[in-house]
Chains A and B, each alone.
Chain A
Amino acid sequence: MYGFEAMTFNIHGGYLEAIVRGYRAGLLTAADYNNLCQCETLDDIKMHLSATEYGPYLQNEPSPLHTTTIVEKCTLKLVDEYKHMLCQATEPLSTFLEYITYGHMIDNVVLIVTGTLHERDVQELLEKCHPLGMFDSIATLAVAQNMRELYRLVLVDTPLAPYFSECITSEDLDDMNIEIMRNTLYKAYLEDFYKFCQKLGGATAEIMSDLLAFEADRRAVNITINSIGTELTRDDRRKLYSNFGLLYPYGHEELAVCEDIDQVRGVMEKYPPYQSIFSKLSYGESQMLDKAFYEEEFHYGVFFAYMRLREQEIRNLMWISECVAQNQKSRVHDSVVFIF
């Protein structure tokens, strides 16, 4: 308890907090994952999932199943739950819930722009977009030739508009510009989300600070590792890191000059919270943080934590399905993160 949330939170947020805690009870357990990891075919996976909350979403899918179908239907469940929460929410919770989807919106914008650059059909690209990141004028993105047009024609009327101020240029869109745009947008979004949570104050501010700081640090490490050996300069790399988090600012200075994974490991091991978890930094330990924040009450962090846990569960199901489909069951435990 950080303030007097217990006195006022339930007036507007009590129902939805109860709903999300109910949703949390439906997450897959270790026993479910053990059963799924022993499946021989995708139809076996479908059969095991029919006994879970994913059952109604998969039951009408014909055989033979594909891994993308499983992921698509499980994502539909997440979308339905999110939409139910959003339509029941009042301010400021509704804005908070919308913030959770801006990351998907950025991914969808980049997908459409990249696909258009490669002369792909817009309808085909729209089918690949994440449903949580859709907005009305998304198809119009295919018309823009540079970032200025992108902003002027489409994004000025979307929640991403404020994040574009740092990357508006008249340069034509190419692979490097698009990558820089993606990361600059995401950085601006995380910082904006962080400031919004700080404004909310109380338990929400405290808990979301930790969650978003971890998100920013994880992103910084991913950018560093993925940019090793590419033409991204050190200065450009430093500019893509967020301006908050445990690694800000000294860790970022050291990460910016790393040339290989061992140097990155050396930097991370100087920070006690990351010493033991660096090997699972991609997603695993963030799920431990997400789980922990269910133990507190009367804050919005539970909604963020639930969305992240569900997304991780869908990633787990995708990995298990791929290992089963490729007959590589011995590798299934490489990337599955057990939530409970």
Chain B
Amino acid sequence: MMEDQEEKGNAENGIGRQKQVKDEYLLQFLDSLDGYLTLLDSLSSTLSQGWLELASARHAMGASRINGALLDLKVHAAATSLKVSEQDVDSMESQPCFTLCKWASSDNGERSSGEEKSLSPQLRHRNNSQLSGIISSPVSFSHFFNFFLSCEEEKVSTRTGTPLILVDQQQRQKSLSVFGVLVSPKLRSAQLSFERALETLVEIANLHTTMLSMFEQVHKELENTNG
């Protein structure tokens, strides 16, 4: 009888733990969904602001100074690139992690064409990959991403010894120089808005991957429960 009661207690504890794990996955999924929707809204307003600032710059400087015909068609390294790496979620799965390398060519010099090409196959296949990674929750990943960006800003360029913040500023001015060296502050604001929008897009991509992973976990748990 004592053994029966002990077995019953163990079974109840097991069911309770399973329920707790299921609730955790569900909460994480809902958290990531909430974060995803918030970021989508933020992206929309940042882009609207950027477009209006661009129109304001055209209004101030004139249509002949700000138009698509001035964009540089010479072959040059991308100022910003996207790095895709694998992160382990648990021992069985991994998921892709997207990192924005802003003004990458300032420190790394000209990228080789082979290196650029190697990024694109990963991007094309990311929807079908079954990669493993370690991401405990979308919130912690988001904090990691922001921490990564802030760490980058505190570093100093290994090539020139200049603080990276100044290197970024110089690269921003270099990008805008297609419209002239003396440009309206509105154009600089538009550039910052679009830069922020790009960062938000990468955050959305990462959060989307996490959300899908959490959804799969919840789905598995439901199947286990029903089975």
Question: A107 and B184 in contact (CB under 8 A), knowing A322-B55, A326-B51, A326-B52?
Answer: no
Bound-state CA distance A110–B69 (Å) is: 13
Is A232 located at the chain interface by the 8 A CB criterion? yes
Bound-state CA distance A124–B73 (Å) is: 13
Question: A118 and B177 in contact (CB under 8 A), knowing A71-B63, A225-B185, A326-B52?
Answer: no
CB pair B73 A326 closer than 8 Å: no
Question: A124 and B56 in contact (CB under 8 A), knowing A175-B180, A232-B182, A326-B48?
Answer: no
Bound-state CA distance A282–B59 (Å) is: 10
Instruction: List, in ascending order, chain A residues with CB within 8 A of B70's CB.
Output: 111, 114-115, 118, 120
Bound-state CA distance A124–B71 (Å) is: 12
CB pair B180 A114 closer than 8 Å: yes
Partner of B182, one of A115, A125, A179, A335: A179
Instruction: List, in ascending order, chain A residues with CB within 8 A of B64's CB.
Output: 107-108, 111, 128-130
CB pair A120 B55 closer than 8 Å: no
Instruction: List, in ascending order, chain A residues with CB within 8 A of B62's CB.
Output: 107
Question: A318 and B52 in contact (CB under 8 A), knowing A114-B70, A114-B180, A176-B181?
Answer: no
CB pair B69 A115 closer than 8 Å: yes
Instruction: List, in ascending order, chain A residues with CB within 8 A of B55's CB.
Output: 319, 322-323, 326
Bound-state CA distance A322–B74 (Å) is: 30
> What mask results when residues 172 to 186 of chain A are scored 1 for a CB within 8 Å of chain B, else 0?
000110110011000
Is A144 located at the chain interface by the 8 A CB criterion? no
Is B65 located at the chain interface by the 8 A CB criterion? yes
Q: Which residue in chain A gives the minimum CB-CB distance to B180?
A: A179
Is A3 located at the chain interface by the 8 A CB criterion? no
Instruction: List, in ascending order, chain B residues with CB within 8 A of A115's CB.
Output: 69-70
Instruction: For chain B, residues 50 to 81, give those with C-beta under 8 angstroms from any C-beta of chain A.
Output: 51-52, 55-56, 58-60, 62-65, 67, 69-74
Shortest CB-to-CB span from A248 to chain B, Å, is: 20
Instruction: List, in ascending order, chain B residues with CB within 8 A of A326's CB.
Output: 48, 51-52, 55
Partner of A182, one of B48, B178, B180: B180
Instruction: For chain A, residues 303 to 340, give those with C-beta under 8 angstroms from any C-beta of chain B.
Output: 315, 318-319, 322-323, 326-328, 331, 334-335
Q: Interface residue count for B (Cβ, 8 Å)?
A: 29
Is A246 located at the chain interface by the 8 A CB criterion? no
**Majority-rule SS of A interface residues:** helix
CB pair B182 A226 closer than 8 Å: yes
Shortest CB-to-CB span from A112 to chain B, Å, is: 10
Instruction: List, in ascending order, chain A residues with CB within 8 A of B183's CB.
Output: 226
Question: A315 and B180 in contact (CB under 8 A), knowing A118-B72, A129-B64, A229-B169?
Answer: no
Bound-state CA distance A323–B177 (Å) is: 26
Shortest CB-to-CB span from B24 to chain A, Å, is: 41
Instruction: List, in ascending order, chain B residues with CB within 8 A of A130's CB.
Output: 64
CB pair B182 A227 closer than 8 Å: yes
Is A230 located at the chain interface by the 8 A CB criterion? yes
Shortest CB-to-CB span from A335 to chain B, Å, is: 6
Shortest CB-to-CB span from A103 to chain B, Å, is: 10
Is B173 located at the chain interface by the 8 A CB criterion? yes
Instruction: List, in ascending order, chain A residues with CB within 8 A of B74's CB.
Output: 118-119
Instruction: List, in ascending order, chain B residues with CB within 8 A of A110's CB.
Output: 180
CB pair B59 A315 closer than 8 Å: yes
Instruction: For chain A, residues 251 to 267, give those with C-beta under 8 angstroms from any C-beta of chain B.
Output: 261
CB pair A120 B180 closer than 8 Å: no
Q: Which residue in chain A gives the minimum CB-CB distance to B182?
A: A226
Instruction: For chain A, residues 122 to 152, give those with C-beta under 8 angstroms from any C-beta of chain B.
Output: 124-125, 127-130
Instruction: List, in ascending order, chain B residues with CB within 8 A of A118's CB.
Output: 70-74, 178
Is A68 located at the chain interface by the 8 A CB criterion? yes
Question: A335 and B52 in contact (CB under 8 A), knowing A179-B181, A179-B182, A226-B185?
Answer: no
A-B contact pairs, 29 of them (CB 8 A): A108-B64, A111-B69, A114-B178, A114-B180, A118-B178, A119-B73, A124-B69, A125-B69, A127-B69, A128-B64, A175-B180, A176-B181, A179-B180, A182-B180, A225-B184, A226-B183, A228-B185, A229-B173, A231-B173, A232-B181, A282-B60, A315-B59, A318-B59, A319-B56, A322-B58, A322-B59, A323-B55, A326-B55, A334-B56
Contact residues of B with A, CB < 8 Å?
48, 51-52, 55-56, 58-60, 62-65, 67, 69-74, 169, 173, 177-178, 180-185
Contact residues of A with B, CB < 8 Å?
68, 71, 107-108, 110-111, 114-115, 118-120, 124-125, 127-130, 175-176, 178-179, 182-183, 222-223, 225-232, 261, 282, 315, 318-319, 322-323, 326-328, 331, 334-335
